[in-house]
A and B are shown apart, each in its own frame.
Chain A
Amino acid sequence: GQQLNQSPQSMFIQEGEDVSMNCTSSSIFNTWLWYKQDPGEGPVLLIALYKAGELTSNGRLTAQFGITRKDSFLNISASIPSDVGIYFCAGQLRGSARQLTFGSGTQLTVLP
């Protein structure tokens, strides 16, 4: 079953605003990944995190691997229209190497 809780499910923001989304679990993860999916396309990797406490940026995107290894967040600063899409967290559970578990996604809409 679903072992990752991703929130919020959807967000409507104004262009230029910052946005934050997160994933939590009751289980420990060894890896956290953040993907973006555009309509009709496959997910594209945004950021990969491998160590507890790690904070990594990719342009306007910043993600962190939680200290407890049970959560991660993604921040997008100064949103632009092309940020629209579905954002997924994914992780590798401790003890389930070689398998990715995905969150249910956050649908982001950026209003002009």
Chain B
Amino acid sequence: NAGVTQTPKFQVLKTGQSMTLQCAQDMNHEYMSWYRQDPGMGLRLIHYSVGAGITDQGEVPNGYNVSRSTTEDFPLRLLSAAPSQTSVYFCASSSRADGGEAFFGQGTRLTVV
């Protein structure tokens, strides 16, 4: 099993550009989520979804959009990239409805210049 697959692994954007970070899981998990990891701050929840067609905001949602049209995919869109969005982004999925015991992807390292 591939588990949770994120693409791309690395990305450099110019300020103001938009892009979509892709996330796919093959474990048939209903719960999926996006986190950002910044030095010394652990992981912070951006958005999450408890099933297809359902999304909700986490701790730091501003500047990001998500949609969940299928169980497998949960893309994260940056609408207008800012240097403050330079970070490592992780997608995760869980078989638990509460999102616990999450499986994480390998991450996308994003730099906004």
Contact = CB atoms under 8 A, between A and B. Distances in A.
Given A2-B41, A42-B90, A104-B42, A48 B98 contact: no
Interface stretch (B12-20, B71-79, B102-110): B102-110
Contacts, number: 66
Q: Is the interface of A mostly helix, strand, loop or mixed?
A: loop
Given A40-B106, A41-B106, A43-B90, A102 B42 contact: yes
B42 A98 contact: no
Contacts of A101: 45, 59
B44 interface: yes
A31 B100 contact: yes
Given A2-B42, A104-B41, A45 B98 contact: no
Nearest to A103: B42
Contact of A98 (B48, B101, B104, B107): B48
A65 interface: no
Interface string A29-60: 00101000000111111001000000000000
A44 B103 CA distance: 7
A106 to B, nearest CB: 11
A75 interface: no
Given A42-B105, A43-B104, A97 B98 contact: yes
Interface of A: 2, 4, 6, 9, 31, 33, 40-45, 48, 88, 90, 92, 97-105
